[in-house]
Structures are given as C-alpha cells and as structure tokens.
Amino acid sequence: MNLQSRLISAFLMMGLLVLVVAGVGWNGNSRLSDHISTLGNNSLPSVMGLWKINEGQTQVQSSERALLNTLLGQEKRQAELSRIKEAGQQIDEGFQQYTSAPRTAPEQVLYKQFLQDWANWQQDHEEFLRLYQEFARLGIVDPPSRMAELVSQRKQNSREMTTAKAADALLDKISNFAANEERASFETSTEGVISLIKYNEEYGEAAQKAAERDVAQTNFWVILGMVLGPITAIVLGIFLSTAIAKPLDKAISGIINMIVSSSTEIAATVEQQEHVASEQAALVNQTSSTMEELKTSSRTAAEQAGVAAASAQQALSLSEGGTHAVKLTLKGMATLQEKVGAIASSIMRLSDQANQIRSISGTVSDLGSKTNMLALNAAVEAVRAGEHGKGFAVVAAEIRKLADESQKSADKINGLVKDIQVAINSTVIVTEEGTKTVTQGVKIAQKTANAFKGVAIAIDQVVINNQQIALSAGQQAVAIQQVVSAMNVINAGSQQTASGITQTKVGTQKLNEAAHNLKSLGVR
C-alpha cells in the first residue's frame, strides 16, 4: 500500500469516527426534541385545557349555589348569571385547547367516559337553569319573608300569598335538585377531569424520564467517541510517521504548521464555547432554583386559599342557619301579631257588652226609682182611703221594698261594670303595648335578617374569590412543574455540553502538543 492510500485510509477512518459521533449526537438531539415536543404540544396544553374546564365548571356550580340564596339582590343575581355565561365560554375554550392536542389510546378511553359524565352534568345544569327561570318569572325572590309580610298584613288568602307559596315550593325543589342529582353528576364529571389531568401528568413524567435516558445514552456514546478519537489519531500518527520518508519532511512540516495553527484556533474557539456553556449552565441552574421556589410558593398559596375557602364556606353555612332562624322568628312574630290582634278585638267586643250591661242596669235603676215613687204615692192614697186602703198599703210597701232592692242591685251591677270597664281599659292598653312590642320585634327581626343578608352575600363573595384563587394557584403550580421539568432537562443538557466541551478542549490541547512534538521530530 503506497503513502497516498495510507493517508486516504487514515483520514477515512477519522472521518468515519467523526461521522459516527455526529450521528449519535444528532439522534440524541432528535429524540430529546421529540420529548420536548411531547411536553410542550401534548401534556402541557392538555393539562391547561382540562384546568380551564374544571375551573369553569366550579364557577358554574358556585354561581348556582349563589342563585339559591334568597337574600341575594337582583343585581347580584344578574352578575351570577353573567358569570355562568363567562364560565361556559371558558369551558368551550378549554375543550378546544384540549381536543387540539393529540391523545393516546388509554387517554381516549378516559376521555370518552368523561364525555358521558360531562353530558349528564350538562343536562342537569340545563334543568337547573330551566327551573330557576320558572322561579324568576314568579317575581318573588324571598318567599318566606314575603309570606311573613302578607300574614302581618292579614292577606293569608290573597292571590299573592298563593304565588309566594308556589315560589317557596319551587325554591325547595330547585334546592333539592341541586343538592342531590346535580351534585352527583358534578362530582362524577369532576373526577373524570382529575383522572385526565393525572394521566397527562404521568405521561409528561414518563416523557421526562425517557428524555433523561436518551441524554445519558447520547453522553455515553459522545464520551466514547471522544476517547476513541484521540487514541485513533495517535495510532494513525505513529503509523504514518513510520511510513513517511525523509523527502516528505518539508511537506509534512507545512502540514504540521497548518495543524498547529488550526489546533490553536480550535483551542481558542473551544475555550470561548466552554466559557459560554458554563455561563449558560449557571443561568439555567439559577432559573431552575427560582422556578422551584415559585412552585413551592404557588402550592402554599393554593393550600392557604383552599383552607380560607373552607372556612368561608363554614361561615356561609352558619350565616344561612342564622338567616333561617330569623325567618322562623319573623313567622312566629307574624303569628303572635295576628293572635294579639284577635285578643284586642275580643276585648273591644267585651267592652261593648259591658257598656250594654251598664245601660240595662241604669234602666233597671231608673225603673226602681220610678217604682219606689209609685209605691210612695200608692201608700199615700191608701192612707187617705182609710180602712179600705190597708191591703193596698201593704202591697205598696212590699213593692217599695222590691224597688229599693232592685235599685241597690242595679247600683252594685253598675259598680261591677265600672270595675270591669277599668280592667278592660287596662287590658286594652296592655294589648296595644304588646302589639307595639310585637311590631318593634318584627322590625328588629327584619333588620337582623337584612344584616344576615349582607353577611351572607359578603361571605359568598369571599368563597367565590377564594375558590378562584385556589384554582388559579393550582393551575400555576402545574404549569410551573412542567417548566421546572423542562428546565431540569435543559440544565442537564447544558451541564453535559459544558463537560463535553471541556473534554474536547483537553483533547485539542493534547492534539496541539502532539503536533508540536511531531514538528520537532519531522523538521531537520
């Protein structure tokens, strides 16, 4: 084999080795790009879309619960209906974002089951809105309070009372439907969303682990190529140095000078790349630490928001219990007011009857006085008649006694009637005071109900805000987790790239030293 063939064979071997190392690096980068694409185009969009669906569904459920609050004003009710509409748009955006991402076969099975559960909840939600629209058309927001007002106004049998009772029955029907059928379908569909989110998180973690394995394999082959490259170069150098004759010293010297110059330039370039790679690795490491701290803060915020939401929900339940107690008090006050009014009417009738008795007693007293005068006149006439009028005188005396007794009895009856009228007047005064007290009690209870109404509305707003904060913080934590995973992969790649450049620098320095040694040996 001549010198040209040997040189060609040596450089072909070196080129083949470089090609193998480059192919391994390209293959590793390609697989790493596929894993990053899986995280960026599949797992992360799917998780974000599912979180939007879950957040929108939770907002709808919260607004429906707020609509069942009888103390909620009309403006608040319109605001809750607007929130339901906005939540529906957010849910549509979440579905569009999720369905645009590719899905695996197991995920497709979970998605089909979730669509069935979602259709059941959507049907229950539409039934709730239908019942609520029917309730809203009745025009009575707080049926118990309205019924209490009608009772206090003595309109128990009015058409408005019938409408209030119908609204109260429909409100109970809506509450039972929301607490049973719709709540069951809501929990089932929520579990379906959580299952899909969990599956995408596990799928993303699997892609991350596969990327780490690919990076490790690529590094192994790159290091192997870096080790075999200098060894092969040394072996070929020794082989060629023994085969090249002295007439080629001048040409070899030129080639060696070119190698020395090129190796020097390569060493400078490699050193610069090493510095840049080290800075990039440091920046990526710092970014990863910052993202880890942000992830911890997001999780803490989500947990605190969840605890605050639970506390606010408990306070809302207590406020609703207080509102219910005030409603019962209003009903009791209305019944008491009605009974006090009936007592007052009975007392007034008793007073009229006492006046009638007094009038009759006065008539009897007048009759007694007149009878007494007639008896006195009869006695005078009997005296004038002498013997013939004695019998008539006895009868006149008896009539006079009866008249006196009748007059005394009438006087006693008048006294008793006066006492009864005094007692009735006192009772009327006390009854009027009781009526005023009941009226004041109704006003105080109504003010208490209004206070509970304000507290319930404020607490309900706190519950909604805390739920939205918890959902947003949870979504941020998931997104940050994906970013942290990607940053960890990039950090590992940057560190390994910096390590590879360092090893390349060492190999280049050794090649430069070998070229100088070869130059000192070849030039004579």
The token duo for 480 is: 């940050």
Asked if 313 contacts 467 with a C-beta cutoff of 8 angstroms, the reply is: no
pLDDT at 424: 74
CA–CA distance, 406 with 300 (Å, rounded to integer): 97
Amino acid at 459: I
Between 174 and 329, the higher pLDDT residue: 174
Q: Using CA atoms, how far apart are residues 61 and 122, in angstroms rounded to an integer?
A: 11
Q: Which of 261 and 98 is assigned the larger pLDDT?
A: 98
The reported pLDDT for the residue numbered 523 is 44
How many C-beta neighbours within 10 Å does residue 127 have? 15
Of 11-15, 404-408, 410-414, the least confident: 11-15
Q: Residue 191: its pLDDT value, please?
A: 92
71-85, 159-173, 194-208: range with lowest mean pLDDT: 194-208
pLDDT computed for residue 455 by the predictor = 61
Residue 88's pLDDT band, with cuts at 50, 70 and 90, is very high
Most confident of 24-33, 84-93, 158-167, 199-208: 84-93
- Return the higher-pLDDT residue of 187 and 515: 187
Range of weakest confidence among 183-192, 481-490, 503-512: 481-490
Mean per-residue pLDDT of the chain: 77
Q: Are 400 and 407 in contact (CB under 8 A)?
A: no
Instruction: Name the more confident of 514 and 308.
Output: 514
- What is the crossing angle of helices 390-522 and 249-385, to 10°? 180
Best mean pLDDT range from 31-35, 118-122, 268-272, 493-497: 118-122
DSSP 34-69: HHHHHIIIIIHHHHHHHHHHHHHHHHHHHHHHHHT-
Give the C-alpha distances (Å, rounded to integers) separating 98 from 25, 38, 193, 343.
34, 14, 11, 71
3-state secondary structure 434-445: HHHHHHHHHHHH
* CA atoms of 343 and 346, how far apart (whole Å): 5
472 is written with which tokens?
Answer: 């947003």
What are all long-range contacts of 25-29, with beta carbons under 8 Å and residues at least 24 apart?
25/218, 25/221, 25/222, 27/218, 28/214, 28/215, 28/217, 28/218, 28/221, 29/218
Question: CA–CA distance from 414 to each of 83, 95, 132, 423 (Å)?
Answer: 76, 91, 66, 14
Q: Can you tell me the distance from the alpha carbon of 353 to that of 359, in angstroms, rounded to the nearest whole number?
A: 10
154: left (phi over 0), alpha (psi -120 to 50) or beta: left
Of the ranges 163-167, 348-352, 360-364, which is most confident? 163-167
Tell which phi-psi region holds residue 139, choosing left (phi > 0), alpha (psi between -120 and 50) or beta.
left
Q: For position 83, what pLDDT does the model report?
A: 93
For the chain, list the domains and their CATH numbers: 255-524 (1.10.287.950)
CA atoms within 13 A on the CB side of 59: 24
Span 276-296, pLDDT tens digits? 667 776 776 777 677 677 677
Q: What pLDDT sits at residue 45?
A: 77
CA distance 299 to 293: 10
Q: What's the pLDDT at 22?
A: 65
Higher pLDDT, 2 or 347: 347
C-beta atoms surrounding 264 within 10 Å = 13
CA distance 189 to 269: 59
Q: pLDDT by residue (tens digit) across 112-124? A: 999 999 999 999 9
> In 3D, which of 154, 183, 176 has the Cα closest to residue 57?
183
Most confident option among 179-183, 316-320, 361-365, 402-406:
179-183
pLDDT in tens, 448-494: 767 667 766 766 776 676 677 667 666 766 766 776 676 677 767 76
Q: Residues 221-235, buried b or exposed e (16+ Cβ, 10 A)?
A: bbeebeeebbebbee
Does residue 256 contact residue 512 with C-beta atoms inside 8 Å?
Answer: no
Q: What is the CA radius of gyration of the chain?
A: 52
Q: What is the pLDDT of residue 524?
A: 43
Share of the chain above pLDDT 90, in %: 12
pLDDT of residue 131: 92
89 pLDDT band (50/70/90 cuts)?
A: very high
Burial string for 129-152 (b: 16+ CB within 10 Å, else e) reads eebbeebeeeebbbbbbbbbbbbb
Q: 363 pLDDT exceeds 70?
A: yes
- Is the pLDDT at 417 greater than 70? The verdict is yes
- 128 pLDDT higher than 90: yes
> Which span out of 149-158, 389-398, 461-470 was modeled with the highest average pLDDT?
149-158
Query: In the prediction, which pLDDT does 253 show?
Result: 67
Secondary structure in 3-state letters for 87-113:
HHHHHHHHHHHHHCCCCCHHHHHHHHH
CB neighbourhood size of 244 (10 A) = 16
Residues 366-376: tens digit of each pLDDT: 777 777 787 77
In this structure, how many other beta carbons lie within 10 angstroms of the beta carbon of residue 13? 14
Rounded Cα distance between 232 and 39, Å, is 40
